[in-house]
Amino acid sequence: MEENKYLSSLAGFHNRCLDELVILLYHGVTSSSSIGIENVSRKHISEVEFRRQIRFVKENCNPLTIEQVVYHCRTGQKFPPHSVAITFDDGFKNNFEIAAPVLREYQVPAVFYVCAGVINTDLMFWVDELECCINSTKKKKIKLKLGGETSFKVGTYEEKLTALEKIKSFCKLCSSIEKSRIVREVVASTEIEPGVNYSENYQKISWQELIELDRDPLFTIGAHTLYHDVLRNQPEKDMYATIQLSLDLLSYNLQHSIHHFSYPEGQAAHYDQKVIDYLKRVGVVCSPSAIVGLNPAGSDPFHLKRIMVGFDGMPFPYLDTRLK
């Protein structure tokens, strides 16, 4: 994320977090050290760092469950001073293995929004496939049709990094068909078949692990579509299907209905009122975005802002000295 946008969206953070709700957005917590450009985006933060942050939250903030957040949004009641909610997106195995034990140790509640279609599978998100291929390839150069460019150097760490960033940002502007074509071309030209065995950080949570999280009163499970499908600008029936099927799959396996959701990608371009209306119709009570910011009392539970931690160097906001 652009630094200026981050800083301006969080201007006055240290005063505002007194009575506005802070929602932290994590993806993963890792105990393995990165090889090459694996986890270079810091989507998975280190266990040491996560523990430090959760201890800070426990000692200095007032952690809320997502149900408490919804209650305050609905009633318009003021949030308790220094309210914070912990959220995880996507459904990585390390949420269960590494993050949950730390949260339990400090008794800090959290909600896990999982892509229901990847649970118990070796499926990978497209960003992880690209990272895996480019990181592991022995090739010095790969052929790839991408806008005006036709080849990318991938011989050194820096070249791999540059290639990954370029391909990733190009894909983010593509249709899903075009994106799949690019991923296939990267797989073919790197001669790497991407797989979860390349890194622990690619592994997804199992149903048994999710059931265990769900049984703990500290934790709440929500949906995040089936396969991280962006909800806006796709045919309505596909949008309904990925919402409905993800909720159904979770409620079938967890044996209760699901009322929480978060939008994949989560920026303003990725969801709209149609999506929100459908979520409400199927019983969802809250769906935070990934738009950066804090949440004053009476915020709409379908437009909550979050602060991503780790990803692209985003610091833990409470200890970010640039925020006044």
Least gap, CB of 242 to Zn ion (angstroms): 13
Find the binder of Zn ion among 89, 128, 129, 214 (CB under 5 A): 89
Stretch in the footprint of Zn ion (CB under 5 A) among 90-98, 193-201, 281-289, 308-316? 90-98
Report which of 67, 111, 108 is spatially closest to residue 89, judged by C-alpha positions. 111
Least gap, CB of 224 to Zn ion (angstroms): 6
Stretch in the footprint of Zn ion (CB under 5 A) among 143-151, 185-193, 264-272, 278-286? 264-272
Provide Rg for the chain, Cα atoms: 19
Least gap, CB of 261 to Zn ion (angstroms): 12
Stretch in the footprint of Zn ion (CB under 5 A) among 17-25, 80-88, 121-129, 257-265? 257-265
* Residues 235, 123, 164: CA angle, nearest 5 degrees: 85
Q: In the chain, count H helices and then E strands.
A: 12, 10
Least gap, CB of 264 to Zn ion (angstroms): 5
Closest residue to Zn ion, based on beta-carbon distance:
89
Q: Is 128 in the site for Zn ion (CB under 5 A)?
A: no
Three-state DSSP at 22 gives: strand
C-beta of 160 vs 222, nearer to Zn ion: 222
State the Cα–Cα distance between residues 250 and 117, nearest whole angstrom.
9
Stretch in the footprint of Zn ion (CB under 5 A) among 40-48, 154-162, 262-270, 297-305? 262-270
Least gap, CB of 27 to Zn ion (angstroms): 7
DSSP 60-113: HSEE--HHHHHHHHHH-PPPPTTEEEEEEEE-BHHIIIIIHHHHHHHT--EEEE
DSSP 230-290: --TTS-HHHHHHHHHHHHHHHHHHHTS---BB--SS-SGGG--HHHHHHHHHTT--B----
C-beta of 185 vs 272, nearer to Zn ion: 272
What residue type is 12 in one-letter code? G
Find the binder of Zn ion among 20, 38, 47, 90 (CB under 5 A): 90
C-beta of 162 vs 234, nearer to Zn ion: 234
Least gap, CB of 63 to Zn ion (angstroms): 22
> What is the binding site for Zn ion (CB under 5 A)?
89-90, 264
